[in-house]
């Protein structure tokens, strides 16, 4: 038996012993019951979180010295597949693990890593992103929130918008203007600061899905300590771009391996059988069959491409523009999946509330509406196509 097979056996036994059966189901909504339980650390969610923290598997591939699991890429793939097999939920999600944590591992000082990474691993800190402003969305380099040097700290004034999860966050990573240069990408710094302080006002924005995951954030003399300047003063654009690569990789990645989505029968097929019936073991709608097959083939091809790119990155042959391709296609593919599910369910997918509809029917419409934002946040599809055309294909302006 190979080492990886031995590891798989050990993982399977450990998960069976430690993942509560009450949590072994698919969690569609990032603002679901499990997310709330995880934040409150109650019941089985608390037991699962603490068990995963002890193993370092809330961040499996992070170095052990910061609380991570120290797993190799192959070991992590085994862990994720075994979690998917029993529908075990990811105990820690969010910008800490997918965005600021990886960026600090890349570009942070040793002191910054020790100060911030363990809190992310243990789900003790929650992060939000201070990038977009009323006049700096797609044109991110136009940020105007200003930070003034006050000796041992900066004082920040300005506003940010579309700040995901700001009402729950304990820390923000933020792009601010600290200097004036001919190029607007210069004179930007990357700061970290606590949200629980005077001068920070948060106003949630209610979306058509009924959720309020995004906020307006107003900064009036907010403070950031000098030790929380990531990278060099006025050169935060480099740090900001690196974080965007991590963000776009996470948004554009293939469908999550947690939950039942990786069962042998995909959700789109299950729904099609339920709402359209079967004839001789086939979905009783030839046009729908064609649409589903095309979507599943594209999804499989995307996963294989992502795997190849990951292997190339490990070998040092990767390009940062790859993340733009993944962000573009991944978000478009996700929207296509939501459109398919709504199309399959017909009028049942229009359920908003009421006892006459199943939990799945009630969540499908809201998920479809929320999914409209995937081709906008993290850099719109148009921005990604511009990056690909200029930096990958070498097309003129």
135: its two tokens: 């006049």
Find all residues with CB under 8 Å of 166, minimum gap 6, and list them: 128, 172, 195, 202, 204, 215, 217
Distance CA 15, CA 26 (A): 16
Distance CA 158, CA 377 (A): 21
Distance CA 187, CA 181 (A): 6
Tokens 């995963």 sit on residue: 52
Distance CA 153, CA 159 (A): 19
The answer to whether 115 and 108 are in contact (CB under 8 A) is no
Q: Closest Cα to residue 195, out of 227, 226, 163?
A: 163
The answer to whether 259 and 25 are in contact (CB under 8 A) is yes
- Which of 84-113 are b and which e, b meaning 16 or more Cβ less than 10 Å from the residue's Cβ? bbebbbbbbbbbbbbbbbbbbbeebeeebb
Q: Closest Cα to residue 89, out of 153, 156, 19?
A: 19
Distance CA 364, CA 192 (A): 36
Q: What is the DSSP string of 56-76?
A: TTTSTTS-GGGT-----HHHH
Q: Give CA 19 to chain center in angstroms.
A: 23
| DSSP label at residue 31 | T
What's the 3-state SS for 96-137?
Answer: HHHHHHHHHHHHCCHHHHHHHHHHHHCCCCCEEEECCECCEC
41: its two tokens: 């650390």
Q: Tell me the β-bridge partners of 156.
A: 147, 222
Distance CA 382, CA 376 (A): 9
247 is catalytic: yes
Catalytic residue among 33, 50, 182, 247: 247
Burial of 204 (C-beta count, 10 Å sphere; 0-12/13-18/19+): middle
> Mind telling me the catalytic residues?
247
């Amino acid at each position: 038996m190979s080492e990886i097979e031995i590891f798989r056996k050990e993982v399977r036994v450990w998960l069976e012993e430690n993942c509560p059966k009450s949590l072994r189901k698919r969690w569609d909504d990032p603002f679901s019951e499990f997310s709330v339980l995880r934040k409150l650390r109650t019941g089985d969610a608390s037991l699962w979180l603490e068990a995963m923290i002890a193993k370092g598997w809330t961040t499996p591939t992070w170095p052990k010295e910061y609380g991570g699991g120290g797993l190799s890429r192959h070991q992590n793939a085994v862990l994720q597949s075994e979690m998917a097999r029993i529908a075990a939920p990811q105990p820690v999600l969010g910008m800490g693990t997918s965005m600021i944590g990886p960026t600090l591992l890349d570009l942070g000082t040793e002191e910054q890593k020790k100060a911030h990474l363990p809190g992310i691993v243990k789900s003790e800190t929650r992060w939000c992103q201070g990038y977009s402003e009323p006049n700096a969305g797609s044109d991110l380099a136009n940020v105007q929130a200003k930070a003034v040097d006050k000796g041992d700290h900066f004082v920040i004034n300005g506003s940010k918008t579309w700040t995901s999860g700001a009402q729950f966050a304990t820390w923000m990573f933020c792009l601010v203007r600290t200097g004036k240069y001919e190029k607007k990408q210069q004179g930007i710094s990357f700061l970290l600061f606590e949200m629980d302080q005077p001068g920070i006002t948060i106003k949630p924005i209610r979306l058509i899905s009924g959720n309020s995951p995004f906020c307006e954030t107003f900064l009036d003399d907010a403070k950031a300590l000098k030790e929380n300047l990531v990278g060099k003063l006025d050169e935060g654009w480099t740090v900001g771009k690196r974080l965007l690569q991590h963000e776009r990789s996470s948004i554009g990645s293939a469908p999550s391996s947690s939950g039942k989505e990786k069962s042998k029968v995909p959700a789109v097929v299950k729904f099609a059988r339920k709402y359209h019936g079967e004839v001789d073991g086939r979905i009783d709608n030839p046009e729908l069959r064609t649409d589903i097959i095309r979507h599943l083939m594209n999804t499989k091809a995307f996963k294989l491409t992502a795997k190849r790119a990951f292997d190339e990155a490990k070998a040092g042959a990767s390009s940062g523009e790859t993340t733009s391709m993944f962000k573009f296609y991944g978000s478009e593919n996700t929207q296509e999946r939501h459109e398919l599910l709504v199309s399959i369910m017909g009028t049942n997918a229009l359920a908003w509330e009421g006892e006459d509809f199943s939990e799945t029917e009630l969540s499908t419409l809201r998920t479809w509406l929320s999914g409209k934002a995937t081709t906008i946040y993290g850099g719109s599809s148009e921005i990604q196509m511009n990056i690909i055309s200029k930096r990958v294909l070498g097309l003129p302006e």
